[in-house]
Chains A and B, each alone.
Chain A
Amino acid sequence: MLRQMILKEWKEKFGLFLFALAGFLFFGLAFSAYSQDKEALDLLMGTMTLVFVPILALLLGSSGFSSEFRDDAWAYLFSRPVKKWQIWLAKYISLLSMLVVILLVFQLVAEFHPAVKAAGQTFSIPLRFGEDISLVVLAYLLPLSLFTMAFSLSILSEKSHVVVFLAALISYSLHIGLTYGYAFLALLPSRLWLLSSLNLLTFVHPRVLLTFVSPLIPLSFAAASILTLTKGDFSQPGRRARVFAKFAAVFLAVSLGFGFIWTYSSIGLRSNPRISDIEIWSGAAYFATDSGIYRFDPATGEKNRLARSLAIWSGIAVGGGGKVAYTTFSVSGGLRAYQDLWIIDAAGKKPRALTRTSRADSPLLGAYIYAVAMSSGGDKVAFITRDLTNADAITLWSVNADGTGLKGYSPRWRRSLNLRKGMSCRILGFADSSRSILISPAPLGKIFWEEGAKLLKVNVESGVVEVLAEHIHGPQLRPGEEGGREPALIAYIKDDRVRSLSTLTLLDAATLEKRDVYEAASIGGFRWNPAGDKLAFVTGKTKIGIYSVAENRLLELKEVAGYDLRWPSASLDWALEDGVILRKLDKGVSSLSLLDGSLREQKTLQLPFSTRYSAQVLGGGRYAFVVNSEKHELWSVDLNTDKWSRIY
C-alpha cells in the first residue's frame, strides 16, 4: 500500500516538486550573480532557508488531506480495508519522501554551488541570548516541523491556503511563546507563583527547546490528527475541528508537561533563577540573575544583593568604583512593560534610573535597551535602543551616571553606515576621555563574534563616526582602571576570507595605529589580562599563545592537549599573577586547570558539580569563578588553597 500511496502522491504533487526545482535553479543563478556580495548572499541564503523551503514544506504538508476533501475522494480512501492511521502514515511518508528529496536537492545545491556553500558556512540566525542555530537545524528541522504541522492540520479543511496559514500561525506562535514567553511570565506578581514557575522551562538551553520541546509541538498535532481521523466525523467539519482541538490540547499539554518534568528533573526543583551575565571587577564577581544583581567579594566571602531586578536581558556593565548599570522591567499604563536603565553603587546604595521609557515626554518612550557599557571611570553609560514599534529605529545613547546629559546618536551614523534593523551591535566602551564610544555592529543576521563585524568610533560631542576596522570579530577593549586609561587599546580578530587567514590585531583608538600580533588559519578567541598588558589567545583549536603588549612579542605559543578550548571567551582566562586558567573535559569529567606563565600545567581541580554543559570559567586574581549553567550556580575556588565555595 505504501508504494502505491507514494506513487499516487508523487504523481499528484509532481507540479509542486517541479516548482521546487525551478526555485532552486533560480536561487542557484542568483547566488552566482551575487557571489561577491556577502550581504546579498546572506539575504539570499536567508530567503531560501527561512522563506522558500518552509513555504514548500507548508504547501506540501497542507496538500495532504485537503486535496482528498476537495475531490471528495476521502470517503473512497476511508472505505478501503485499512486502518485510518495507516492511511495517515502512508500519506505522511509519501509526502515526506517528496520533502526529503526536495531537501536533498537543497543540500546538493548547498554542497556543490560554491557561493551557496560559502554563504552556508557562515549563515546563522541570532536566537535568544545570542545563541545561534546552525544552517542544518534551520534547513531541516524548520521545514520538517512546518510540514508535519501543515499535514496534521490538513484533515481540517479542503482549503490548502487556510491550512498553510493556520500551520504557520500556530507553529510560529508556539515557538515564539516558548522562546520569549518567559519574559512576560517574569512580570507576573508573586502571588501568581505557579504561573511564574512556568518560566523555568525557558531556563534551559535554547538548543534544548529547539531539539527537544519544539519537535513535540508538531508531533502533538500529528497525534491529534491521527486520533481525529480514527474518531472524528469527516462529514461534519465543525465536529471534526472540535475533536481535533480537544486532542491537540491534550497532547500539547502532555508534551509541554513532559518538557517541564524533563526540565525540572534535569535542573532540579530548587534550582536558582538563571544567571544571565557575570563580570569580574577588581577581583569581585558581579552577576545578574532573574532575581536580582549580586556582588561577591571572595576575599571577604561577602555576597550582597545590590538590586532586585527581573528579566534582565541586556546584561550588566560594571565601571568605576564598582558601580553597576543594569536594565530592569516595570509595568505601567495597564499591562505594558517598560524597560529602563538603572545604576547603583557597589554597596547597593543610591539606585538611580537613567531612563524613563514609560514617560510620554521621554525621547526613549517605549524603547528596548539591548546593550549597555560603562566608562572605566564610571561617570558615563552608553547603551543602544530599538524602538519596539519601529524596529528600524536603532539609536546609540550616552548618559552621565547622575542621569544628566542624555544624548542620542541616530540619524547620522545610521544613514552613513547603513546600520539596519536586526543588526546586532555591541558597545565596547568609551575612548578619548569618554568623548567617544566604541561600537561594533555585526552584519545583518550575524552576531558580533562572528566574522564581518565593523569597529566604529562615535564622537559623543560632534556625532562624527569613524570606521576603525572592517571584517573583524570579537573586539575587546583593554580592561579599564579607576579613572580611565588612555589611549584605548582594542584587540580584535581580523578575517581575510581571500587568504583564509585570521589575524589577532591591536588598534590604538586614539592614534589609529594598528599592530598585527599573530596570524594563523584560525584564531578561536583571546582574553586580556587584568593589567591589560598581555593577551592570551587560542589558535588552531589546541594551541595557546601569550603576547606581551609592552614587549611587542609572543612570549609563549604552545600546543596544549586535553583542554576544552571551543569557546575561549568562556573557557580561558587569566588568574593569579600571570597564570592562565583553562576548562578541561576528560572522559566526561569537567575540571579547571591552572597553567603558569610558561603554559605549564600547575594543577587540575575537578569541578564540584557534574554538568552536561560546558561551565564558564572566569579568573579573578587569586580566585577563579565557575558558572554551572545547567543548575544556575556560581562557584569560586581559591587557587592557593584549592577550596571551593558555592556563591550562588
Chain B
Amino acid sequence: MTEILKIKALGKSFGRRRVFSDLSLSLEAGRVYGLLGRNGEGKTTLIRILLGVIPADQGEVFYKGRKVGFDSASHKQEIGYIPEDSFFFGGMRVGELLNFNAAFYRSWDGRRAAELLKRFSLDPRARIRTLSRGMKLQLEMAVALAAKPEFLILDDPTSGLDVPTRYDFLENIVRELADAGTTVFFATHLVHELERIVEHVFILDGGRLVVDKDYHLLKDSTRRLRLSFESPPPEKLGLGGVLSERRDGRRVELVVYPWSEEAQAGAQRLSPLHMEIEPVSLEDIFRSFVAG
C-alpha cells in the first residue's frame, strides 16, 4: 500500500492550552480512517492543519512523501473537504458555489457536479441560506466530489443530521467513495456511525494519540468480560490490559485490550461464579479508551 499522508511529531497550542503534542500518524491510500475523540480534543484543529487553514506550532506533514507547509496549495487539488459547519457564502446560489469552486480545481468535473445535484435533488438556483442542514451537507458533498479527490477529509459532517440522512450519507456516499479507492479520513465524536465503514481507527485523548490500529484487529483483540462472584470481588483483580472496569455489588464488567488466551486464563483463576466474554462495539472501545 502507498502512504498518502504522514504526520510527524505535530504539536499545537491555543494560548496556554496545549491541544496536542508530538502527534504522529500515517495513512495509506485507499482506506477509510476514523479519527475519534471527544469534543475539544483537537480533531478539527488537526484537520485544519492538514488543510493549511491554520499553522502547526511544530511537526511536519507529508503528502505522498512530499513535505507540505502551511501555505502549500498544490496538494489540496487532490483533497476534498467536508467541514463540520457550513462555511458557505450564504448569499450565493447553489450553482454559483459550484462555479466558484470549479475555478480552484484543475480536475473539476462539471458533469459530475450536475449529476450530484440531480441525485441530491438540489436546485442550482436555490440560495444556500435557504437550504436545510442536510441539503447543505449534500451540497458540500457535491463540491468535494466534483473535484474528484483522491483523499477526502470529513470533519464531523453528520452531527446535527437526522438519522435517515446520516444513514444515506454514510452507507451510500462514503461507502461508494471508499469502494472507488478514495482515501477517507473521517473525524467524528458520533462513533457508532463509523463502525459500518471504518478500516483504521485513531483515538485522540488528552492531547495524545491513544489508539492507532486497524479497526478489525482492534475489535478482534478487545473483549468485554462480565464476572459474577459469590462474595464481594477482590479489590485488585490482577488482570492485564483492563481499559475500563465497572463494579455492581458482586458483579464486575471489564473491557480488556489486548484480549488473549492468557487474559482469559487470568480471569478464570479468579474463580468467578459466572464469566461472559463478548465482542465489543467501536463505541465501547472508544469509551473505554477515553473514559477509562
Does residue A482 face the partner (Cβ distance < 8 Å to B)?
A: no
Q: B48–A75 contact, CB under 8 A?
A: yes
A233 interface residue, CB < 8 Å from B? yes
**Residues of A506-522 contacting chain B, CB below 8 A:** none
Q: A4, B99: Cβ atoms under 8 Å?
A: yes
Contact residue among A7, A78, A238 (Cβ-Cβ distance under 8 Å from B52): A78
Segment at the A interface, from B76-84, B115-123, B222-230, B260-268: B76-84
Q: Does residue B53 face the partner (Cβ distance < 8 Å to A)? A: yes
In the docked arrangement, what's the CA distance between A8 and B90, Å? 11
Question: Which chain A residues (212-233) contact chain B, with CB distance < 8 Å?
Answer: 230-233
How far does the Cβ of B40 sit from chain A's closest Cβ, in whole Å? 13
Whether the pair B71, A230 counts as a contact (CB closer than 8 A) is yes
Within 8 A of B (CB), among A5-47: 5, 7-8, 11-12
Answer whether residue A80 sits at the interface, using C-beta atoms and an 8 A cutoff.
Answer: yes
Is the Cβ of A71 less than 8 Å from the Cβ of B90?
Answer: yes
Chain B residue at minimum C-beta to C-beta distance from A238: B15
Cα distance A8–B91 in the bound complex, in angstroms: 9
Q: What's the interface size class on A, roughly?
A: 20 to 34
How distant is A475 from chain B, measured CB to nearest CB, in Å? 60
- A75 in contact with B87 given A81-B77, A233-B54 (CB within 8 Å): yes
Within 8 A of B (CB), among A66-103: 71-86
User: Across the interface, do A8 and B89 meet the contact criterion of CB distance under 8 Å?
Assistant: yes
Check A194 for interface membership: any CB of B closer than 8 A: no
Least CB distance, B248 to chain A, in whole angstroms: 44
A410 and B75 CA atoms in complex are apart in Å by 74
Chain A residues touching B, majority SS: helix
B221 on interface, CB distance cutoff 8 Å: no
- B272 at interface by CB-CB < 8 Å: no
Shortest Cβ distance from B113 into chain A, in angstroms?
Answer: 14
User: For chains A and B in complex, what number of residue pairs have CB atoms within 8 angstroms?
Assistant: 82
Q: Is the CB of A71 within 8 A of B53?
A: no
Contact of B104 among A1, A8, A84, A234 (CB under 8 A): A1
* Chain B residues whose CB sits within 8 angstroms of the CB of A8 once the complex forms: 89, 92, 96, 100
User: Which chain A residues border B100 with CB–CB below 8 Å?
Assistant: 4, 7-8
A residues less than 8 Å from B103 (CB atoms): 1, 3-5
Q: Is the CB of B85 within 8 A of A80?
A: no
Are B52's CB and A79's CB within 8 A? yes
B53, B76, B89, B99: the one within 8 Å of A81 (CB) = B76
How near does chain A come to B97, taking the closest CB pair, in angstroms? 9
Contact assessment for A71 and B48 in the assembled complex, using a CB-CB cutoff below 8 Å? no
A640 at the interface (CB under 8 A from B): no
1/0 per residue B27-53: CB within 8 Å of A? 000000000000000000100100111
Are A71 and B15 neighbours in the complex by a CB distance under 8 Å?
Answer: no
Q: What residues of B have a CB within 8 angstroms of the CB of A85 in the complex? A: 71
Whether, in the assembled complex, B73 has its beta carbon less than 8 Å from a beta carbon of chain A, the answer is: yes
- Verify B87–A73 contact, CB threshold 8 A: yes
Q: Is A235 an interface residue (CB 8 A)?
A: yes
Q: Are the CB atoms of A80 and B104 closer together than 8 Å?
A: yes
B62 at the interface (CB under 8 A from A): no
Asked if residues B14 and A79 are in contact (CB atoms below 8 Å), the reply is no
How far is B279's CA from A464's CA once the two chains are assembled, in angstroms? 109
Separation of A83 and B70 alpha carbons in the complex (Å): 10
Residue on B with the closest CB to A4? B103
**A11 and B92 contacting across the interface, CB-CB below 8 Å:** yes
Judge whether B233 is part of the interface by a CB distance below 8 angstroms: no
Contact partners of B85 in chain A: CB under 8 A: 72
Q: Which residue of A lies closest to B77 (CB)?
A: A81
Apart from A81-B74, A83-B73, list 9 A-B contacts with CB within 8 A. A7-B100, A12-B91, A73-B88, A79-B76, A80-B76, A81-B73, A82-B104, A85-B71, A238-B15
A-B contact pairs, 29 of them (CB 8 A): A4-B99, A4-B102, A5-B103, A7-B100, A8-B96, A8-B100, A71-B87, A71-B89, A72-B87, A73-B89, A75-B87, A76-B83, A76-B87, A77-B87, A79-B48, A79-B51, A79-B52, A79-B53, A80-B101, A81-B73, A81-B75, A81-B104, A81-B105, A82-B76, A83-B73, A86-B73, A231-B70, A233-B55, A235-B54
Pairs A-B, 9 closest by C-beta atoms: A76-B87, A81-B76, A4-B103, A79-B51, A1-B103, A81-B77, A80-B104, A230-B71, A78-B53
Interface residues in chain A, defined as those with a beta carbon under 8 Å from any beta carbon in chain B: 1, 3-5, 7-8, 11-12, 71-86, 230-236, 238
